[in-house]
Structure 1
Amino acid sequence: MKILVLYNVARDLGVGVASDIICEQEIEIIVPLVEELLLARGYEVETIETTQNLWNNMVSRIGTFDLALNMAESFGGGNTDEPLVPAMLEALRIPFTGASSLNMQLTLDKEKSKLVCQGYGIPVTPYQRFDSPDDPLQSNISFPAIAKPIRQEGSIGIYADCVVKNEAEMRAKVAHIISNYFQPAIVESFIVGREISVGVIGNGANLIVFPPLEFQFPDTHDDLLKIRSFEYKWGGQTEKMVKADLPSSVVEKLVSFTKTAFRATECRDYARMDFRITPDGEIYLLEVNYNPGIGPNSHGLNNTLTKMASFTGRGFEDLIEEIILIAASREKLI
């Protein structure tokens, strides 16, 4: 099977603050590792950057490969417009791994994905969308709260000071988000408790849910700092990813919520759901993550789904190949 690996290197920021560019650079480490492992496993491989010439590049290659491994997290050398990549592949009838353009558009929007998941019976954090920092505060929001860009992923725009303790702090942070990320903010009541993530691979009735993973933050005793902020994910602060020690009843609920969210938001091939769990065992869905990072946990990298897969004996190489085979089966290539 010949695999075309698609990736994007962000050299300019379309939205955000200067520090956000840090998270866009790891792909330059991951793609050569993916190419190497696929060649070692007998695949033919070509890699293409998703530049502004992507459409013409893809048209010229139709029929020269079997499946695109879509690792692009943006388009055209910036850090935006990720859904354009699967949209082009769909328009050209090119089989590819991971999220469709519909799934991306839905799950990129934290409000829309919460509405869908809530409609399927999954508890979500109390939230409010802010199109302006002057929007009236709804009664469902309590403090402390956390303010986030509504359409960013990978902890982008989520810094430690996004946890706000009062309305004045909240409105200042909302104003910052709107002016720097050019999108609404979403404000959620802060859930004190454990940060849990659950990964899943497969499609339809054939979903494999990995054991839940917990993010731990050994550098702080402050509950309000125990979030997977930009500082932890990209800024060098110490976090630990461990197999979550949870009661079986809680794990069963997490597995059920994860499968339901995967299907309700029309995820494909692989995804990851992030939750908070209170000390009383109440579970709240934070968000649905399509195409979560599938790089190794070596070379200075830190990839959650790969870590979860390791709980089941799967290595980085195994996970990549399994995702390819899952997508190939969905596309009826095998």
Structure 2
Amino acid sequence: MKSTSIISWVRRQKKVHSKVNTSSTMRVGIVHTAGSPCGCAEAVAGGLAALGHATLIVDSEEILLRSEELAATCDLVIDHTDTFLGWGVLRPFVRGELERWGARVVGSSTQACFLADDKIAAKGSLSAAGVPTPPGAAITEVTAELPLWLQPPLILKPACEHMSRGVTLAKTREEARVAIGVLLESYCQPVLVETFIPGRELAVSVLESPEGLEVLPVLEWLSDDNEYRILTAAFKLQENGAAREDAHRIILSSVQRHELESLSRKAFRALGLRDYARFDVRLSPEGRFYFLEANTTPSLETGEALAFSARWAGLDYVHLVKRLLEVAQRRYCADSRTNKTVIANY
């Protein structure tokens, strides 16, 4: 006798996979945070229009009201939520609502987003997979003592925020102690304290393809801070276009390129990501790569890292958007074929 849970699962799968659109024209939902400085929604909408697709743009703050509509009326949904209810830590909740209603989301699953957005949990998964990360510790109380092996300069980050919100450089242990108190009070979440890694700041974008994971040409950020080269929130909020001068393509040796591509693929799989992602990586003066963060929703603006790297790989912006749609469409079609076989058995 079939269990109720299995029957419910079958019904959900029928609902989701019966809507996979294999035609050339689609309706694509775009979820963004209205008022956010990110211009992803406008850029993606332009790319979709150039491809002949219709769009439905929804504010992430309305997700509880609009998820069912997005799932029912859109062939795919691109979720680029910045914050939900004012918090970056809650942005995976938006994706969870979309998936709960059966929306076909471009990008990583809710579970993977929660993992990747939690810098402490992600750090553990990456380290366990053999992907190097800076030495660090998680602090949850103002009175907690920093380990003696954690020596300044140090980088402090709220565990589950992004866009460099709250990122602080501490040059002494006393500065670190004060900053920990401020961050704990301001963000109400653990603080990740890591050894500052000097060197070059890289953005490594990864796209799925029929041939496997493709690591795009690597971008290096050029900061005015020549000593520390930290990408602050102010740096990321600058108005930049496709001709920006603070980013360029880094040329690595064949050995370094092979190592970075291998580590990036390993990191992508260790976090259970899908479709596309970007990793923030430091290249130390000794030539060692350290993975700092994973971003499941890297900026899709035309003047940001993913678009630059895609261009260097031969994909203009419109074809980058097309590629993202195709990889998600291919995944859902494959899931549909698999689940039809499973459903037929019940």
Please indicate, yes or no, whether the TM-score normalized by the shorter chain is above 0.5.
yes
Find out whether 1:147 has 2:147 as its counterpart.
Answer: no
Q: What residue identity is the alignment partner of 1:316?
A: Y
Find out whether 1:5 has 2:17 as its counterpart.
Answer: no
Name the counterpart of 1:25. Answer: 37
Pair member with larger Rg: 2
Per-residue deviation at 1:80?
Answer: 5.0
Question: Contact conserved, 1:7 with 1:73, CA < 8 A, in 2?
Answer: no
- SS of the equivalent of 1:82 reads helix
Question: Contact conserved, 2:138 with 2:190, CA < 8 A, in 1?
Answer: yes
Per the alignment, do residues 36 and 204 of structure 1 end up closer, same or farther by CA in structure 2, a change over 3 Å counting? closer
- SS of the equivalent of 2:84 reads coil
- State the alpha-carbon separation in 2 of the partners of residues 66 and 47 from structure 1: 13
Find out whether 1:227 has 2:240 as its counterpart.
Answer: no
Name the counterpart of 1:102. Answer: 111
1:119-198 to 2 correspondences below 5 Å: 119-158=128-167, 162-198=168-204
Question: Contact conserved, 1:203 with 1:268, CA < 8 A, in 2?
Answer: no
Name the counterpart of 1:313. Answer: 314
Deviation string, structure 1 residues 17-68 (Cα, Å, up to 9, x no partner): xxxxxxx2233xx42342233123122222222234x244232454432111
- State the alpha-carbon separation in 2 of the partners of residues 32 and 220 from structure 1: 31
Question: Contact conserved, 1:10 with 1:77, CA < 8 A, in 2?
Answer: no
Name the counterpart of 1:51. Answer: 61
Deviation string, structure 1 residues 256-305 (Cα, Å, up to 9, x no partner): 110000011011111011111111111111111111011112xxxxx111
Per the alignment, do residues 179 and 321 of structure 1 end up closer, same or farther by CA in structure 2, a change over 3 Å counting? same
Per the alignment, do residues 80 and 142 of structure 1 end up closer, same or farther by CA in structure 2, a change over 3 Å counting? closer
- State the alpha-carbon separation in 1 of the partners of residues 65 and 273 from structure 2: 27
- State the alpha-carbon separation in 1 of the partners of residues 70 and 203 from structure 2: 37
Per the alignment, do residues 41 and 10 of structure 1 end up closer, same or farther by CA in structure 2, a change over 3 Å counting? closer
- State the alpha-carbon separation in 2 of the partners of residues 239 and 178 from structure 1: 35
Per-residue deviation at 1:98?
Answer: 0.9
- State the alpha-carbon separation in 2 of the partners of residues 330 and 51 from structure 1: 28
- SS of the equivalent of 1:151 reads coil
Per-residue deviation at 1:309?
Answer: 1.0
Comparing 58-67 and 314-323, the one that deviates more: 58-67
Per the alignment, do residues 61 and 279 of structure 1 end up closer, same or farther by CA in structure 2, a change over 3 Å counting? closer
TM-score when normalising by structure 1:
0.85
Q: Which runs of 5+ in 2 are unaligned?
A: 1-24, 337-346
Q: Which runs of 5+ in 1 are unaligned?
A: 12-23, 298-302
Question: Contact conserved, 2:156 with 2:169, CA < 8 A, in 1?
Answer: yes
- State the alpha-carbon separation in 1 of the partners of residues 71 and 284 from structure 2: 50
Q: What residue identity is the alignment partner of 1:87?
A: G
Question: Contact conserved, 1:6 with 1:72, CA < 8 A, in 2?
Answer: no
TM-score when normalising by structure 2:
0.82
- SS of the equivalent of 1:26 reads coil
- State the alpha-carbon separation in 2 of the partners of residues 231 and 49 from structure 1: 24
- C-alpha RMSD over aligned residues: 2.3
Question: Contact conserved, 2:32 with 2:79, CA < 8 A, in 1?
Answer: no
Q: What residue identity is the alignment partner of 1:309?
A: A
Q: What residue identity is the alignment partner of 2:76?
A: L
Percent identity reads: 27
